Amino acid sequence: MKTIRYKTQGVCSRAIEIEVDDDGVIVSCRFDGGCSGNTQGVSRLVVGMKASEAIDRLGGIRCGMRPTSCPDQLARALTEALSGNAVGV
């Protein structure tokens, strides 16, 4: 099991805490800050999903004119986690 805390950039949320099991499945996901309904919804949707699938689905999503979004930041956090560059909690 890997637990990471990712400091977001360019979005309303401040950080994301994610647990990914040894099979690459997301066990839990929690955003710190951001649009409550949206971040809760994204978190619930990705639990039980393979991290690689979440990356494919969420990567590149923009929030208005911003070049990123909370879902995109989650994809970036998972990409770092899978590559071994994430900071453990």
Q: Which fold has domain 2-83?
A: Sufe protein. Chain: A (3.90.1010)
Output the pLDDT for position 85. 63
pTM: 0.92
pLDDT band at 89 (very low <50, low <70, confident <90, very high): very low
Output the pLDDT for position 35. 93
Domain residue limits, the chain = 2-83
pLDDT in tens, 21-47: 999 999 999 999 999 999 999 999 999
Tokens at 40, concatenated: 């809760």
CB atoms within 10 A of CB 48: 9
| Cβ contacts of 26 within 8 Å, gap of 6 or more | 18, 19, 20, 46, 47, 48, 49, 50, 51, 54, 78
